[in-house]
């Protein structure tokens, strides 16, 4: 029997607008699933059931209005919502309740969405896994012994397990793509400057942007359109190209595209990067599927150098900007304290040199990728890892482990490029394995079309065990 969560977000919206299902019914359905299933998954750190149902009743009494009218979502717990605890994954903010709602939440409210709570994130969103000192970890619904990745781990878990139809997220070094690939859903990291309220243009290196996580390419494109159009752009220029990006989810144009394929990462000369055979196989399968669809697919020999030192300097600089005292550092997690202290030790000259190197890397990467509409890479180098695999005490080793797990993510942020991860095959255990498509500046439409083509060619993949639980 088809249940409401079996429908795509777009199908749910159609049912809402046709009054075949009410906002109260749909919200109650997801709240019930969260209540029954989330204790073993850790997708949410706060569930606001009463507020969600109040909001649903108000929407139901009005005419449908807004691109997300009546559709539930969850706020990442880095995004403030007035009156709701916002802990940033840290015990430093265990009791913090903001007075105002941040733009990332307000834009979805204005589109008619219904927040059902806060999704799990690591401390200050600094890591590519979601395990904190203040609550349960976000787990992979395919195998809850494994983590869900991060930093948008709770959002990805919720979507993969059918606890949400889609979820807003953010990505400063892979924080959308790492968890989406870990649990086998779709995640889009937009171009720098694309999303007005989280453009990346006001941070060191221009790294963090907002984007969507969803079960299908079209659902992700739908949410991206909401994020892009929800606020006037505050800067003189935005990313080139235009939406609506949902139009690209038909796959049109993929046959005329040119795609480069590489398994090289810019960390290869600094870390022990070992590509899992299933990840390599997924890239080969995706390349064959695109070629069969008429896409020109070519091997791409890319040899970046000097990336590791530049990125680690910028990442430490970003951590050092947080207003944390020595006393605070005694309360945060070792990886946070290490990054902050390392950042404090950097000189102004070292920071400026790293930022200049990042600009050179961005230019050289864009030039190297320019002959392709998209570059196809693995999404992750390793399969999902057990809870506790990332070293909780040795911060330097922890950082290396994160790089070894996801070496194909952070350089996309440094280059300011759009990227999408999409599952294309299953490993021997039945777990989805994903690939990444990286676009030109402003090239979201091209990578969405290519991902939609892969999705159509692969066909429906199975849902994780939690999806099928009814009690």
Tell me the C-alpha distance between 62 and 112, whole Å: 11
Measured CA to CA in angstroms, residue 207 lies from 180, 210, 343, 349 at distances of: 18, 10, 16, 20
Is 189 in the active site? no
Measured CA to CA in angstroms, residue 412 lies from 81, 301, 433 at distances of: 29, 17, 20
Catalytic residue among 90, 115, 170, 175: 175
Alpha helices in 259-394 (DSSP H): 277-292, 307-320, 326-329, 334-344, 348-369
Q: CA-CA-CA-CA torsion for 56, 466, 419, 204, nearest 10 degrees?
A: 70
Burial class (CB in 10 A: 0-12, 13-18, 19+), 48: buried
Catalytic residue among 76, 90, 410, 434: 76
Decide: 69 and 109 in contact? Cβ < 8 Å. Answer: no
Catalytic residue among 90, 151, 265, 409: 151
Q: How many CB atoms lie within 10 A of CB 294?
A: 12
Q: How far is CA 200 from the centre of its chain?
A: 15
DSSP code of 464? P
Give the DSSP H/E element, type plus range, for residue 115. Answer: strand 114-119
Tell me the C-alpha distance between 190 and 239, whole Å: 9
Q: Which residues are catalytic?
A: 76, 151, 175
């Amino acid at each position: 029997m088809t249940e409401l969560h079996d429908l795509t977000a777009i199908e749910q919206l159609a049912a809402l607008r046709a009054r075949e299902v009410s906002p109260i019914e749909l919200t109650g359905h997801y709240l019930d699933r969260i209540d029954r299933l989330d204790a073993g998954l850790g997708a949410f750190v706060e569930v606001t059931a009463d507020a969600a149902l109040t909001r649903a009743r108000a929407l139901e009494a009005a005419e449908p209005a807004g691109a997300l009218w009546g559709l539930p979502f969850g706020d990442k717990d880095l995004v403030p919502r007035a009156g709701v605890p916002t802990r940033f994954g840290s015990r430093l903010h265990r009791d913090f309740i903001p007075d105002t709602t941040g733009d990332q939440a307000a834009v979805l409210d204005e589109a008619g969405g219904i927040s059902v709570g806060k999704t799990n994130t690591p401390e200050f969103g600094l890591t590519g896994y979601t395990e904190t000192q203040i609550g349960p970890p976000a787990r992979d619904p395919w195998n809850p012994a494994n983590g869900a990745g991060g930093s948008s781990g709770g959002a990805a878990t919720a979507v993969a397990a059918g606890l949400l139809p889609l979820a807003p997220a953010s990505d400063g070094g892979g924080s959308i793509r790492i968890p989406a690939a870990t649990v086998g859903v779709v995640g889009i990291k937009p171009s720098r400057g694309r999303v007005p309220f989280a453009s990346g243009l006001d941070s060191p290196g221009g790294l963090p942007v907002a984007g969507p996580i969803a079960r299908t390419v079209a659902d992700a494109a739908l949410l991206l359109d909401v994020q892009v159009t929800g606020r006037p752009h505050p800067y003189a220029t935005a990313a080139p190209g235009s939406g609506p990006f949902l139009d690209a989810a038909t796959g049109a144009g993929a046959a005329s595209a040119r795609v480069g394929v590489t398994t090289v990462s810019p960390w290869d000369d600094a870390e022990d990067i070992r590509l899992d055979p299933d990840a390599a196989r997924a890239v080969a399968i995706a390349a064959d599927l695109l070629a069969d669809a008429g896409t020109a697919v070519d091997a791409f020999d890319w040899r970046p150098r000097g990336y590791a030192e530049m990125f680690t300097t910028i990442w430490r600089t970003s951590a050092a900007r947080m207003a944390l005292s020595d006393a605070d550092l005694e309360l945060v997690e070792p990886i946070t304290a290490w990054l902050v202290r390392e950042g404090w030790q950097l000189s102004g000259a070292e920071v400026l040199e790293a930022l200049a190197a990042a600009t050179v890397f961005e230019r050289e990467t864009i030039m190297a990728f320019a002959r392709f509409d998209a570059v196809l890479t693995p999404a992750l180098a390793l399969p999902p890892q057990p809870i506790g695999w990332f070293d909780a005490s040795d911060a330097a080793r922890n950082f290396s482990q994160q790089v070894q797990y996801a070496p194909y993510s952070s350089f996309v942020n440094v280059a300011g490029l759009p990227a999408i991860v999409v599952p294309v095959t299953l490993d021997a255990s039945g777990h989805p394995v994903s690939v990444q498509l990286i676009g030109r500046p402003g090239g979201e439409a091209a990578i969405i079309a290519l991902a939609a083509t892969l999705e159509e060619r692969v066909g429906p993949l199975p849902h994780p065990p939690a999806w099928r639980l009814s009690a």
